[in-house]
């Protein structure tokens, strides 16, 4: 989809979950050279990537928000769901609600002709935070990851559960690195 909907490119990034999901809403301004004025949670130094909203929602509320605003979007970035072999045993008798959440998001986007990019959590969450730090977003040092993959590093300066911050990471990585982003063309 081109920038026919205006010179602002609107992207939703989603961190799906079983109980909680993250939703980060971005505006991309390819020609911007300075921060934008307005009600933004945060933005890059040049204002090319502007974080409009970052929410932690229940899956049904995420689907409702996406369905309500899908016609305004140019792209959806979605964390890929993978059942890791070492965690498969824990999923016995599970309804795999995270994968259902992913399916509903993909369905809403497809029904409205909005392209979806799936991204792995591995690498992209850490990379998104590093790119955001370099781009001038407000960051805070905190414990990230889990289990043997736990580390300390920069994270978005947003309070609360990590889901919305993970969604922000996905949106930043896509905006800065994906060939279909208007910022990389």
Run of H or E including 21: strand 21-28
**Distance between CA atoms of residues 19 and 91, nearest Å:** 15
Query: Over the stretch 43-97, which tens digit does the pLDDT of each residue have?
Result: 999 999 999 999 999 999 999 999 999 999 999 999 998 767 776 777 777 777 8
User: According to the model, what pLDDT value does residue 95 have?
Assistant: 78
* 93 burial via Cβ count (<10 Å: 0-12, 13-18, 19+): exposed
pLDDT band per the 50, 70, 90 thresholds, residue 4 = very low
* 100 burial via Cβ count (<10 Å: 0-12, 13-18, 19+): middle
Query: Over the stretch 18-51, which tens digit does the pLDDT of each residue have?
Result: 999 999 999 999 999 999 998 999 999 999 999 9
> For the whole model, what pTM was predicted?
0.91
Query: Over the stretch 115-150, which tens digit does the pLDDT of each residue have?
Result: 999 999 988 999 999 999 999 999 999 999 878 778
CATH class as words, domain 8-83+93-177: alpha beta
**Distance between CA atoms of residues 30 and 99, nearest Å:** 33
């Amino acid at each position: 989809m081109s920038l026919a909907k205006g010179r602002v490119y609107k992207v939703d990034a989603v961190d799906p979950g079983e109980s909680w999901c993250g939703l980060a809403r971005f505006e991309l301004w390819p020609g911007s050279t300075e921060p934008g004025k307005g009600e933004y949670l945060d933005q890059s130094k040049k204002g090319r990537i502007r974080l409009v909203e970052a929410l932690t929602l229940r899956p049904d509320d995420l689907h409702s928000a996406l369905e309500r605003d899908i016609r305004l979007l140019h792209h959806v970035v979605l964390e890929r769901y993978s059942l890791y072999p070492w965690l498969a045993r824990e999923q016995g008798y599970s309804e795999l609600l995270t994968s259902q959440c992913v399916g509903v998001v993909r369905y809403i986007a497809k029904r409205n002709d909005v392209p979806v990019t799936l991204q792995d959590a591995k690498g992209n969450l850490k990379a998104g935070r590093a790119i955001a730090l370099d781009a001038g977003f407000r960051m805070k040092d905190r414990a990230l990851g889990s289990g043997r993959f736990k580390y300390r590093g920069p994270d978005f300066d947003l309070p609360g559960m990590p889901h919305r911050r993970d969604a922000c990471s996905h949106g930043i990585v896509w905006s800065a690195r994906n060939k279909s982003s208007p910022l990389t063309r």
